[in-house]
Amino acid sequence: MIHWIFNDIIAFFVSILLAGIIIPQILLIAFRKKLFDEVDERKIHKGVIPRLGGIAFFPSILFSFFIVLGFSLKYYGWETIGPYMDVLVPFFFMVCAVLLMFLVGIADDLIGVRYMAKFAIQILASILIVFSGQYIDNFFGFLWIHHVYNWIGWIVTAFMVVYVVNAINLIDGIDGLASGLSTVAFVFYTIIFYQAGQYTYSLLAAASAGTLMPFFYYNVFGNVIKQKKIFMGDTGALTTGMILIFLAIEMLHIDDSGLVLTYNPVILGISPLLLPLFDVVRVYLHRVVRHKNPFLPDKAHIHHKLLALGLNQRIALIAILLGSMFFIVINMFLSSFLNPTFIILGDIFLYSITNVILSKTIHKREKRLGKKLCD
């Protein structure tokens, strides 16, 4: 329905306004209370920078989503979103799951939380997503599998929730990277859900994209000296990751009759998340092969490699965002006539070849400069 276009636009700008108001207040409090990100040899940034930007995410998204949805239901009626109980019940569970991520993220950013404790909370949140009824029950031809038993779908869903949440958290290594990749994904989901007639999901994606815009500005263009720069921290990464995987799973349940072309739902859901997902697996294997603790941080992520080539953060950011957009566009095109297994294998091959080329180029540069540039 046409009015949902305006709903998405309004939610987008309301969330921009709210996050734009909240983030400067977080900066003010953080500097008054000396709540800074610690600087060490692994960190790329210099100077003291608060890492509490993610505190603005959940309130901004929640307020803009529900205020616009509330007005829409009041003036247009429940029929505008179809069988509303089937639509809204998953959102109740999603809000609870995101709230868990939000709270554990705040605790970790302020005082630190043990990894196993965070992992346990993530599993609990994944169980809530499964209980919402929005779980993976069909692979749509990936690995030549279609419908699966419910218990298999529950396990796969829980795994994917934990996987994506951690992937978004771990990719957050240079200014604007996690928020930029997430914004690309949210904008993509907004468009696809709107075209498919899944208006509430489109609204959630639009509100999420808008919330990240002010943060992206402060994170990328903020001046450290003027105390205008901020990081999202675990609060932002965990919150964003949970909403992303919730929307990605819902992609498996959309009615594609409203889309211009027929696309594979698995490809629609997973393509915007491929770079973070590939990166976390590659880094994990990289650490295991070198007999390092796979859960301890290092400088082996894709952005570290681009920086080791001599690129600055802005160029590295643009390169990765363009890479994500490339995967989305090419995968959508191929999904109309190619099995998703071949598409994902092709993505893995392309990503692997790119990393091999980067590693060889970095090695040559290290030999020329006589120093180690990347793990």
- The whole-number pLDDT of residue 196 equals 87
Write the CB contacts of 355 (distance below 8 Å, at least 6 apart in sequence): 282, 302, 305
Q: Which residues of the chain have pLDDT under 50?
A: none
- The whole-number pLDDT of residue 301 equals 84
Tokens matching residue 258? 């409203």
- CA dist., res. 294 & res. 296, Å (int): 6
- The whole-number pLDDT of residue 78 equals 61
- The whole-number pLDDT of residue 129 equals 95
- CA dist., res. 14 & res. 207, Å (int): 8
- CA distances for 328 relative to 74, 90, 184, 185, 295, angstroms: 36, 26, 10, 9, 29
Burial-class residue 234 by CB neighbours within 10 Å (0-12, 13-18, 19+). Answer: buried
Asked if residues 203 and 250 have their Cβ atoms less than 8 Å apart, the reply is no
- pLDDT tens digits, residue range 131-152? 988 899 999 999 999 999 999 9
Q: Which residues of 159-191 are buried (b: 16+ CB within 10 A; e: fewer)?
A: ebbbbbbbbbbbbbbbbbbbbbbbbbbbbbbbe
